[in-house]
């Protein structure tokens, strides 16, 4: 349940309530900057009635609390003037990995030409094999940052480890947390303490509840700028890299106020199917897409099979234009938003 404090409540009073709850066997957690306290169990109203500085309480009928629709109706925020949120959609595209200056600048120029506002590209790559290309590290971050600055794009790049937080935050506008780190709860907790928006990808084996609880780790630290991303889940079928779980998009939107985008590139693992799954995700209501593209897909140093060529990506954009009435959300809207 969530306890909401009156505006006049002091820190000492909130701490007093927490101590009182603790003595009765209830752990609780204050959410920084929000005058609320999460109590994961149901507390008897009688116990809370002693505290005149409580405004009201709300019982959320799920394990996840702060990410739930019951707690909040919508999440909306801006990244350098571009709207992100429940009623908007955004397109993020770029290579799996930043490989060299030519590749990332060519990609940035191409995206800008097509009015795309977000470039992706990993500098620190989570690779299954330690012998695969693992990214350019800081050099890669600098390159994508420079390319984005040149073409007025926003950078989305992955943070793999807490030790790199300052470095990655310096060069990015949205920090991506990959599938493998969705359950790195300590890392998620630390991301709650910063103000950079976070793109949280679903763990490849995560249930919806686990995914939203991971989101709660970030939200309960006080960072409300959060986007979810469905990127396919593991299955038994060796013919597909993952199963793109499109059904989870409307499901999560019914449960949560957080925007959820789709990553059909990792979802299918095959460039031939990215277009179909991208459109299907958008029509299912996704708040955007993250698509891997490469100036020369065959030569990509990571995820070559799933990278769209520039032509194929332009084809996808043209087809999204055709199905716009079914998408019903402005894509990369930049008019000003009252939050
Ligand atoms: C990626 O976006 O390049 C990536 C590694 O994705 P995921 O964490 O979903 O595997
Ligand atoms: Mn990739």
Distance CA 75, CA 100 (A): 36
Q: Ramachandran region of residue 36, left (φ > 0), alpha (ψ -120 to 50) or beta?
A: beta
Distance CA 332, CA 82 (A): 6
Q: Is the pLDDT of residue 249 over 80?
A: yes
Ligand 1 pocket, residues with Cβ under 6 angstroms: 96, 122, 126, 178-180, 201, 231, 266
Dist. CA 70 → ligand 1 center (Å): 30
Q: Is the pLDDT of residue 338 over 80?
A: no
Question: What per-residue confidence (pLDDT) applies to 246?
Answer: 98
Q: Is 127 exposed, middle or buried (0-12, 13-18, 19+ CB in 10 A)?
A: middle
Distance CA 199, CA 187 (A): 13
**Phi–psi pair at 72, nearest 5 degrees:** -150, 145
Taking the alpha carbons at both ends of the chain, their separation in whole angstroms is 25
- Within 10 angstroms of residue 258's Cβ, the number of other Cβ atoms is 27
Question: What per-residue confidence (pLDDT) applies to 190?
Answer: 98
**Alpha helix segments (H runs only) across 7-100:** 11-23, 45-48
Q: What integer best gives the mean pLDDT of the chain?
A: 96
Q: In this prediction, what percent of the chain has a pLDDT beyond 70? A: 99
User: What three-state secondary structure class fits 12?
Assistant: helix
Dist. CA 303 → ligand 2 center (Å): 5
Nearest CA to ligand 1 atom 1: 96
Dist. CA 266 → ligand 1 center (Å): 7
Distance CA 124, CA 115 (A): 27
Dist. CA 293 → ligand 1 center (Å): 13
Dist. CA 264 → ligand 2 center (Å): 11
Nearest CA to ligand 1 atom 8: 178
Q: Is the pLDDT of residue 337 over 60?
A: no
How many angstroms separate the Cα of 162 from the Cα of each of 149, 166, 176?
Answer: 25, 8, 13
Which pLDDT tens digit goes with each residue over 123-167?
999 999 999 999 999 999 999 999 999 999 999 999 999 999 999
Question: What per-residue confidence (pLDDT) applies to 336?
Answer: 59
Q: What is the mean pLDDT of residues 24-40?
A: 94
Atom number in ligand 1 closest to CA 96: 3
- Ligand 1 pocket mutation, candidates 176, 184, 232, 265, criterion most atoms within 8 A of CB: 176
The model's pTM is 0.96
User: Do 94 and 107 form a contact (C-beta atoms < 8 A)?
Assistant: yes
> Where in 44-122 does DSSP place strands (E)?
54-58, 76-79, 82-85, 90-94, 118-120
Atom number in ligand 1 closest to CA 266: 9
Dist. CA 291 → ligand 2 center (Å): 9
Cα of 228 vs its chain's centroid, Å: 4
Dist. CA 265 → ligand 1 center (Å): 9
Atom number in ligand 1 closest to CA 202: 9
Q: Ramachandran region of residue 27, left (φ > 0), alpha (ψ -120 to 50) or beta?
A: beta
Dist. CA 179 → ligand 1 center (Å): 6
Where is 216: in which H helix or E strand? helix 208-219
Per the listing, tokens 């909130």 go with 14
Nearest CA to ligand 1 atom 9: 179
Nearest CA to ligand 1 atom 10: 179
- Ligand 1 pocket mutation, candidates 179, 291, 293, criterion most atoms within 8 A of CB: 179
> Where in 86-132 does DSSP place strands (E)?
90-94, 118-120
Which pLDDT tens digit goes with each residue over 186-234?
999 999 999 999 999 999 999 999 999 999 999 999 999 999 999 999 9
Contacts of 16 (CB under 8 A, 6+ apart): 51
Atom number in ligand 1 closest to CA 97: 3
User: Do 327 and 89 form a contact (C-beta atoms < 8 A)?
Assistant: yes
**Phi–psi pair at 298, nearest 5 degrees:** -60, -30
Q: Within a 13 Å sphere around the CA of 314, how many CA atoms are in the beta-carbon half?
A: 10
């Amino acid at each position: 349940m969530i306890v909401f404090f009156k505006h006049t409540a002091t820190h000492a009073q909130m701490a007093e309530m927490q101590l009182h709850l603790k003595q009765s066997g209830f752990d609780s957690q204050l959410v920084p900057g929000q005058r609320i306290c999460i109590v994961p169990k149901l507390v008897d109203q009688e116990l809370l009635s002693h505290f005149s500085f409580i405004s009201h309480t709300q019982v959320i009928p799920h394990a996840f609390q702060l990410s739930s629709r019951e707690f909040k109706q919508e999440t909306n925020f801006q990244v350098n003037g571009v709207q992100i949120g429940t009623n908007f959609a955004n397109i993020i595209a770029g290579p799996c990995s930043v490989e060299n200056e030519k590749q990332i600048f060519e990609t940035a120029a191409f995206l800008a030409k097509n009015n795309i506002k977000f470039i992706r590209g990993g500098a620190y790559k989570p690779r299954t094999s330690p012998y695969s290309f693992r990214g350019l590290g800081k050099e890669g971050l600098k390159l994508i940052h420079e390319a984005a600055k040149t073409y007025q794009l926003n950078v989305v790049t992955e943070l793999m480890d807490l030790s790199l937080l300052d470095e990655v935050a310096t060069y990015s506008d949205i920090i991506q947390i990959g599938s493998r780190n969705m359950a790195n709860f300590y890392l998620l907790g630390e991301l709650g303490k910063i103000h950079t928006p976070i793109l949280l990808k679903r763990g490849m084996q995560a249930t919806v509840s686990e995914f939203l609880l991971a989101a709660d780790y970030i939200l309960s630290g006080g960072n409300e700028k959060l986007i979810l991303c469905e990127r396919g889940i593991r299955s038994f079928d060796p013919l597909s890299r993952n199963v793109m779980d499109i059904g989870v998009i409307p499901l999560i939107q019914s449960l949560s106020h957080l925007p959820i985008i789709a990553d059909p590139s990792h979802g299918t693992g095959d460039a031939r199917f990215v277009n179909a799954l991208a459109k299907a995700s958008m029509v299912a209501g996704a708040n955007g897409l993250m698509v891997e593209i490469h100036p020369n897909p065959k030569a990509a140093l990571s995820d070559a099979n799933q990278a769209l060529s520039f032509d194929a990506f332009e084809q996808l954009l043209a087809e999204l234009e055709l199905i716009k009435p079914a998408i019903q959300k402005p894509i990369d809207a930049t008019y000003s938003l009252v939050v």
